């Protein structure tokens, strides 16, 4: 068995380095003087000089790059221009909220997706199967910014079961989490169903049946184990759309996470926060991909030699 974890780790490291450089140059791509854009044209000259020194924009570019690299290594993202508070605290609260939302959505879609897919595959071509497949087609093609209002309309306004937005009560996570998860759930259902049907026809399963294994035991030990492998890949890939969907969903439901912080910081031109949010979201995506790839190698014995 060849050990290629160092290569995977190295390529992830290169990606992170690239993300850092791209986010670093965001501030420098602002047309005109970034300080004037952020403070407004009527700002006092002394304030402008102060901010310029604080952001290090008066230094040569290679020194800025090294300084901000050292800062990020220490977990320091600088200060917010609007409030003067360190960004780190704001970011860590927002990160926590976004992760809670994303993980809830992930759990919903994995649990119900696999359950739905297994049921649809068990009763292939039945009425139930057709309902599951057609509704999942609907949820795959619906964008987050339409599904959110639709759920608000049905569950909050007409039925009055859930709070519309905000994060005051524990039940307020349900609507944004549903909005985020339904698309992914539909993809998992489709994937699980098609894989199960394919594997149920394979030689391995026929042999197991011939040996006289019980049906539920075949489903768990033979079919399901093989279904998990493509599922892990698709879940890892979809996590990115979960993170970028969080930007829309959080804005829609006033969920105090990274996405809402990102949009707010863009509107108030607080660009250091914008940089930090983009950096954190992209880095999380890289880590999820790395984790998926490692898990994939562990799960699939065929991949170990490649």
The residue ranges that bind other proteins (CB under 8 A) are 11, 14-15, 18-19, 22-23, 26-27, 29-31, 141-146, 148-150, 152-153, 157, 239-241, 243-245, 247-248, 251-252, 262-263, 266-267, 271, 274, 278, 281-282, 285-286, 289
Q: How far is the CB of 208 from other proteins (least distance, A)?
A: 32
Residue closer to other proteins (CB basis): 176 or 208: 176
Pick between residue 150 and residue 298 the one whose CB is nearest to other proteins: 150
What is the closest distance, in whole angstroms, from the C-beta atom of residue 17 to other proteins in the complex?
A: 9
Nearer to other proteins, 15 or 119 (CB): 15
Long-range Cβ pairs for the range 14-19 (8 Å, 24+): 15/286, 16/283, 16/286, 19/279, 19/282, 19/283, 19/286
Closest distance to other proteins from the beta carbon of 141 (Å):
5
Give me the least distance between CB of 101 and other proteins, in Å please: 15
Output Rg (C-alpha) for the chain, integer angstroms.
24
Q: Where does residue 40 fall: left (phi above 0), alpha (psi -120 to 50 degrees), or beta otherwise?
A: left
Rank residues 6 and 31 by Cβ distance to other proteins and give the closer one: 31
Nearest distance from C-beta of residue 253 to other proteins, angstroms: 10
Cα–Cα distance, 153 to 172 (Å, whole number) = 14
User: Phi-psi region for residue 44, left (φ > 0), alpha (ψ -120 to 50) or beta?
Assistant: beta
Of 77 and 285, the one with the shorter C-beta distance to other proteins is 285
Across the chain, which distance is largest between two alpha carbons, in Å? 84
Asked if 135 and 116 count as a contact pair (C-beta separation under 8 A), the reply is: no
- Show Cβ contacts of residue 198 under 8 Å, excluding neighbours closer than 6 positions: none
């Amino acid at each position: 068995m060849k050990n290629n974890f160092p290569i995977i780790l190295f390529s992830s490291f290169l990606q992170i380095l690239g993300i850092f450089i791209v986010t670093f140059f965001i501030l420098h791509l602002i047309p005109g003087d970034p300080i004037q854009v952020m403070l407004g044209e009527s700002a006092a000259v002394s304030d402008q000089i102060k901010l310029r020194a604080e952001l290090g924009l008066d230094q040569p570019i290679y020194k800025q790059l090294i300084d901000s690299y050292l800062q990020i290594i220490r977990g320091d993202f600088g200060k917010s221009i609007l409030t003067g508070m360190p960004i780190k605290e704001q970011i860590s609260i927002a990160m926590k909220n976004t992760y809670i939302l994303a993980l809830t959505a992930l759990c919903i879609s994995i649990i119900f997706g696999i359950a739905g897919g297994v049921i649809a595959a068990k009763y292939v071509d039945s009425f139930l199967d057709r309902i599951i497949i057609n509704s999942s087609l609907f949820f795959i093609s619906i964008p987050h910014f339409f599904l959110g209002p639709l759920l608000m309309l049905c569950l909050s306004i007409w039925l009055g079961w859930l709070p519309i937005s905000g994060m005051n009560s524990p039940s307020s996570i349900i609507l944004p989490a549903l909005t985020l998860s339904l698309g992914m759930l539909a993809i998992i259902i489709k994937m699980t169903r098609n894989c199960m049907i394919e594997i149920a026809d394979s030689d391995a399963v026929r042999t197991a049946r011939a040996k006289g294994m019980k049906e539920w035991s075949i489903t768990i030990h033979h079919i399901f184990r093989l279904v998990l492998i493509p599922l892990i890949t698709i879940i890892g890939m979809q996590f990115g759309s979960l993170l970028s969907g969080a930007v829309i969903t959080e804005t829609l439901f006033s969920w105090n996470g990274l996405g809402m912080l990102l949009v707010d910081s863009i509107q108030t031109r607080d660009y250091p926060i914008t940089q930090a949010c983009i950096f954190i979201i992209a880095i999380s995506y890289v880590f999820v991909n790395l984790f998926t790839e490692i898990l994939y190698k562990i799960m699939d014995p065929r991949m170990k030699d490649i």
